[in-house]
Chains A and B, each alone.
Chain A
Amino acid sequence: MLTLALTLLAVSAPGLEDSVVKVQVYSSRFDYASPWRMSPVHGASGTGFLLDGKRIVTNAHVVRDARQILVKRHHVANPFVARVEVVANDCDLAILRVEDPAFHEGLIPLKIGDGLPERKSSVTTYGYPAGGQELSSTTGIVSRVEWLTYVQTGSDAHIAVQTDAAINPGNSGGPVIQKGKVVGVAFQGAPHLQNVGYFIPAPLVRHFLKNLEDGHYDGFPDSGFKTTDLISPAYKAERGLKPDEHGVVVEEVAPDGTGDGVLKPGDVLLAVDGVDIADDGSVALAGVVRGPFSHLVDMKQVGEKVRFKVWRDGKRQDLEATARRIARYDRFRYQWSTPPRYLVYSGLVFMPLDVEYLRTWGKGWPGKVPRAMTWNHFFKESAAPERANEETVVLARILQHPITAELSVGPSVLETVDGHPVRSLAELDDLLTQARLRGKGQLNLGFADGYEETLNLEETEAAHPRILQTYGVRREKNL
């Protein structure tokens, strides 16, 4: 009976269904194993909806690696060409534009709601699951609010709302409607669970839109500190807190994060922006909905102030920090649409150490890659904070040629060139450029695990263009 009532409601809201469009995407992925190459074109579809300002909202993952995007209106035969205006991979949202004025005729922009929907309240998803031509809608209830890893980058986590309304491939990017307003954007399921779908809640969509007001997307800030909960009465007593005082203990503070220079390991974080933190790290989000305190930092725009209340040296202290984004953490994010960074010299392919390169080693890569890569990717920052912002460069592969075929080293972390440390792909490019200007003599490369190799510049200078040609490397670098 409930379902019926809601369907009637949806029908009685004129234009809502027309504003939900099918997004047809032809994409081609860069091949990180041969970073100058692209994979074959692949077609897929998702859903989008119209927002004010003639913007179409969809998921970032719907338009990942897009080469051509077509948008199709409900019950309109001909598709319209669209382009991506902005992509926010970290929250899986994107804005598309259709220039053709005909597209917008008669369309009413949807409105984004405020706050989080209540648990057990009904929501309706609209979209084109499995690519069909007809708009589909299903109704379900809000099951819970969770802190969830967003699969688009595999590295960003935000709150997400779980619902039992069907969310299937093709639904992605579609609006989730409650009382005529968008309470979220459908975006992912749970691979091993039935009747579980997730949508990006309105506060995140609003965060994204607000960030865009200056015409540039800055991304979400990183809290940049690690905490442990204070469930242990012993730990709480050791910190000098009474049993009825609550918070979490700061354990590590990352350079350049929101907590850098403000929080210290050992601090007990009691509140963020005046919201008290429970011993398990949770805070009240809306009504009875609780979520991790990280959400409070997550909701800040980069550059905004964050107030921390901490227990330090036996007293309460109010601290103020600025929300910051840690750029180096991009290496943990899957990359879409942006061409891979690499540098080829004389058959040696160098790349920055990031998750995309590491994924070329296949499933289970963290334990399969040389240990020096694992260390640099995951643990360098904790073990050597002063080197946190150094970019690790790897010899990703070797294109076989008489000069390179006899090298002893395999895929490895490049540490030095002619004795100079290599701290970024750009630095490697500088060092190689200098050497190539010499044009003769030797070039010495030092790798992890004690490997060394030498190149004879006269030989490599002669071989370099030929290797590029043989292997069809159209660009020798993309820094």
Chain B
Amino acid sequence: MRRTSSLLLALALALGASACATGGGPRSAAAAPRPAPVSPRQAVVSVIVNGQDPDFGSPWVKGEAWQRRINGLVVEGKRILVHARRLANRTLVLVEKSGESKRYEAEVELVDYEVPLGLLTVKDPEFWEGLEPLRIADEVPVEGDVTICRWLDSGQFEEARAVVKQLRVSTHFPGTTQLLTLELSSPINASGWGEVVVSEGEVVGITTSSAEDTLPTLAAPVLRQFLEQAEAGTYRGFAGHGFAWQRLTNSALRQRLGLGPDEGGVRIREVLGYGTAAGVLKVGDVLLEINGHKIDERGKFKHPEYGRLYFDVLFTDGVNPGDVVDVKVLRDGARQDLQVTLQANRPDDGVVPRYVIDQSPEYHEVGGLVFMPLTFDYMRQWQGWWENGPLYLLVAIDARNANPTRPGERMVVMSKVLPDAVNLGYADLGALLVSKVNGRPILGLDDLRAALKAPQDGFHIIEFDPGQSASRLVLDAKAAEAAAAGIHQRYGLPDPQ
């Protein structure tokens, strides 16, 4: 059933020494002798995650505590591999095995929300009795039946049939990494909670969500790559390419760019100010080849096993951050061979962090005015925020996110006003993007804190980006200081240290 991955060979040849180390090492582990067949019951465990999400509306309090049951896969080295979305903001992780009601405490050894996958350990040796790792497949089927394995709340083990619809390249919330994804079709209810997908006795994927009867599933090669990085002890994450592109199906445009009719290629239309492409690729470049794979005019390449896939996966499949990828571009009419060094996707590389997980939201309060860095989580207070959030903030995110003027730059919003005599007249203001405080430009909460140390003639002057519902407000600096204790008490804020 297993074949040598010719993709891997091609990669190893193209990448030279450094790539051989990453590409060759893990895969040779995969070639180890195959263990005796293991029943999925022995390899799938039930994971009960308790957590408490922050409240971005009142960042000093925590929201309701919650509990969710997901599935975990026992892997080599007494570890449990889980879909990580539900590990976010956890307070306690417990595991159950074999449908028994005894629960064991688990620790999170590694979590990467960009995939999203996590690795759990359980200290109690008793837990591991009777459990066996299930082998993760080298390749995944692109059609036919597979089995979805999971523990139900009732303690029953369910093996449900599912059909592979297609193999494609997709991201998995909250991550933005473009990864090999199996799309399954299955009628089973309440799925998409990290169920283990098995085919011919091997794991082919872990589900990450569900929509209608479709289950996006992280494909086995992604699981392997995650585990291999984890085993090596130097987990580096997964990369992104860091640009936006347009297809080149318009023949007149191809002609103008000097592209042959069969040359394929996509045009780069935006380059992020950070990440893999920054400083190497330019707007207007036509991307022709990646590691020797020809990119067609719609952005797909021919994967040796899986057929035509979007090229984005060439920046993740079998390659890790730090690796060098060869890129052939057409620039100003000339074909050039370039190299990019893969940079890991991080949620906070842009000006607006895509998520803030496992940490309390930052805020700063003065005179009842609450300031926060603008984050996607902040925006999620508005249902369907991408369309329904405050319009100016949506436009500002679009305009500024990709190009921080300095690392760690943030936009700061005055998120709300806690009504008090000291801020009389401002109670209805909120969700305003701050431009300056006391005359100083604000590119982060630290800037704001520093600026508040320098009031102007006894006043704090807060200025907002023009075009919003308010442009400026003024606080009496001394009065704000005097009002602090009262405001904190009345609205339940902790006193600052």
List residues of chain A with CB under 8 Å of any chain B CB.
226, 228-235, 237-238, 249, 251-252, 265, 364, 366-368, 371, 374-375, 378-379, 381-383, 403, 406-409, 442, 444, 449-456, 459
Of B4-12, B82-90, B194-202, B390-398, the one contacting chain A is: B390-398
Give A277 Cβ to nearest chain B Cβ, in Å: 15
Q: What CA separation (Å) do A238 and B284 show in the bound complex? A: 51
Q: What CA separation (Å) do A464 and B388 show in the bound complex? A: 39
Partner of A367, one of B394, B470, B476: B394
Besides A364-B388, A371-B398, A450-B270, 15 more A-B contacts (Cβ < 8 Å) are A228-B473, A232-B425, A232-B474, A234-B422, A234-B474, A237-B459, A238-B459, A364-B387, A367-B388, A406-B249, A450-B244, A452-B253, A453-B253, A454-B250, A459-B252
Q: List residues of chain B with CB within 8 A of the CB of A449.
A: 244, 269-270
Some 6 contacts from A to B, beta carbons below 8 A apart, are A232-B474, A235-B473, A367-B391, A375-B395, A378-B391, A442-B252
B472 at the interface (CB under 8 A from A): yes
CB-based closest 3 A-B pairs: A450-B269, A231-B425, A382-B467
B426 at the interface (CB under 8 A from A): yes
Give A302 Cβ to nearest chain B Cβ, in Å: 26
Contact B252–A452 (Cβ < 8 Å):
no
Q: List residues of chain A with CB within 8 A of the CB of B217.
A: none
Give A393 Cβ to nearest chain B Cβ, in Å: 19
Q: List residues of chain A with CB within 8 A of the CB of B395.
A: 371, 374-375, 378-379
Q: List residues of chain A with CB within 8 A of the CB of B472.
A: 228, 249, 251
Which residue on chain B has the smallest CB distance to residue A280? B425
Q: List residues of chain B with CB within 8 A of the CB of A366.
A: 391
Q: What CA separation (Å) do A228 and B244 show in the bound complex? A: 41
Contact A229-B386, Cβ < 8 Å, known A378-B391, A379-B392, A449-B269? no
Contact A383–B467 (Cβ < 8 Å):
yes
Contact A374–B471 (Cβ < 8 Å):
no
Contact A456-B470, Cβ < 8 Å, known A449-B244, A450-B269? no
Q: What CA separation (Å) do A252 and B248 show in the bound complex? A: 44
* Number of B positions contacting A (CB below 8 A): 45
Contact A378–B467 (Cβ < 8 Å):
yes
Q: List residues of chain B with CB within 8 A of the CB of A375.
A: 395, 398-399
Give B368 Cβ to nearest chain A Cβ, in Å: 12
Q: List residues of chain A with CB within 8 A of the CB of B423.
A: 232
Partner of B471, one of A252, A371, A407: A252
Which residue on chain B has the smallest CB distance to residue A374? B395
B285-310 CB mask vs A (1 if < 8 Å, else 0) is 00000000000000000000000000
Which residue on chain B has the smallest CB distance to residue A369? B387
Q: What CA separation (Å) do A459 and B246 show in the bound complex? A: 22
Partner of B391, one of A228, A374, A408: A374
Give A195 Cβ to nearest chain B Cβ, in Å: 28
Contact B461–A238 (Cβ < 8 Å):
yes
Q: What CA separation (Å) do A379 and B392 show in the bound complex? A: 8
Contact A409–B246 (Cβ < 8 Å):
yes
B479 at the interface (CB under 8 A from A): yes
B255 at the interface (CB under 8 A from A): yes
Give A314 Cβ to nearest chain B Cβ, in Å: 13
B410 at the interface (CB under 8 A from A): no
Contact A408-B474, Cβ < 8 Å, known A238-B461, A371-B394? no
Q: List residues of chain B with CB within 8 A of the CB of A409.
A: 246
Contact A228–B470 (Cβ < 8 Å):
yes
B251 at the interface (CB under 8 A from A): yes
Contact B387–A408 (Cβ < 8 Å):
no
Q: What CA separation (Å) do A226 and B467 show in the bound complex? A: 10
Contact B479–A234 (Cβ < 8 Å):
yes
Contact A367–B386 (Cβ < 8 Å):
yes
Which residue on chain B has the smallest CB distance to residue A228? B470
Partner of A408, one of B248, B399, B461, B479: B248
Q: What CA separation (Å) do A459 and B470 show in the bound complex? A: 51
B48 at the interface (CB under 8 A from A): no
Q: What CA separation (Å) do A408 and B251 show in the bound complex? A: 11
B333 at the interface (CB under 8 A from A): no
Q: List residues of chain B with CB within 8 A of the CB of A265.
A: 471
Contact A451–B425 (Cβ < 8 Å):
no
Q: List residues of chain A with CB within 8 A of the CB of B473.
A: 228, 232, 235
Contact B247–A408 (Cβ < 8 Å):
yes
Contact A367–B387 (Cβ < 8 Å):
yes
Give A325 Cβ to nearest chain B Cβ, in Å: 21
Give B350 Cβ to nearest chain A Cβ, in Å: 15
Contact B426–A408 (Cβ < 8 Å):
no
Give A255 Cβ to nearest chain B Cβ, in Å: 13
Contact A454-B391, Cβ < 8 Å, known A238-B459, A371-B398? no
Q: What CA separation (Å) do A284 and B466 show in the bound complex? A: 30
Which residue on chain A has the smallest CB distance to residue B476? A234
Q: List residues of chain A with CB within 8 A of the CB of B247.
A: 408
Q: What CA separation (Å) do A238 and B457 show in the bound complex? A: 8
Q: What CA separation (Å) do A63 and B253 show in the bound complex? A: 48
Contact A374–B459 (Cβ < 8 Å):
no
Contact A452-B399, Cβ < 8 Å, known A234-B479, A406-B249? no
B102 at the interface (CB under 8 A from A): no
Contact A232–B426 (Cβ < 8 Å):
yes
Q: What CA separation (Å) do A406 and B424 show in the bound complex? A: 58
Q: List residues of chain A with CB within 8 A of the CB of B424.
A: 231-233
Give A423 Cβ to nearest chain B Cβ, in Å: 20
Which residue on chain A has the smallest CB distance to residue B467? A382
Q: List residues of chain A with CB within 8 A of the CB of B479.
A: 234
Q: What CA separation (Å) do A378 and B473 show in the bound complex? A: 22
Partner of B474, one of A238, A442, A452: A238
Contact A383-B466, Cβ < 8 Å, known A228-B471, A451-B246? yes
Which residue on chain A has the smallest CB distance to residue B246? A408
Q: What CA separation (Å) do A146 and B141 show in the bound complex? A: 67
Q: What CA separation (Å) do A101 and B399 show in the bound complex? A: 62
B365-401 CB mask vs A (1 if < 8 Å, else 0) is 0000000000000000000001111011011001100
Give A333 Cβ to nearest chain B Cβ, in Å: 19
Q: What CA separation (Å) do A219 and B219 show in the bound complex? A: 64
Partner of A444, one of B256, B284, B422, B425: B256
Task: Name, among B425, B472, B479, the residue most crowded by chain A CB atoms within 10 Å (CB to CB).
Answer: B425
B79 at the interface (CB under 8 A from A): no
Give A400 Cβ to nearest chain B Cβ, in Å: 13
Contact B251–A406 (Cβ < 8 Å):
yes
Q: List residues of chain B with CB within 8 A of the CB of A226.
A: 471
Partner of B283, one of A249, A252, A450, A456: A450
Contact A454–B253 (Cβ < 8 Å):
yes
Q: What CA separation (Å) do A9 and B271 show in the bound complex? A: 76
Q: What CA separation (Å) do A167 and B391 show in the bound complex? A: 34
Q: What CA separation (Å) do A235 and B461 show in the bound complex? A: 9
Q: What CA separation (Å) do A265 and B255 show in the bound complex? A: 52
Give B424 Cβ to nearest chain A Cβ, in Å: 6
Contact A374-B244, Cβ < 8 Å, known A228-B470, A237-B476? no
Q: What CA separation (Å) do A367 and B379 show in the bound complex? A: 13
Q: List residues of chain B with CB within 8 A of the CB of A374.
A: 391, 394-395
Contact A382–B466 (Cβ < 8 Å):
yes
Which residue on chain A has the smallest CB distance to residue B470? A228
Q: What CA separation (Å) do A232 and B392 show in the bound complex? A: 25
B242-267 CB mask vs A (1 if < 8 Å, else 0) is 00101111111101100000000001
Give B436 Cβ to nearest chain A Cβ, in Å: 13
Q: What CA separation (Å) do A235 and B465 show in the bound complex? A: 18
Partner of A456, one of B252, B267, B389, B461: B252
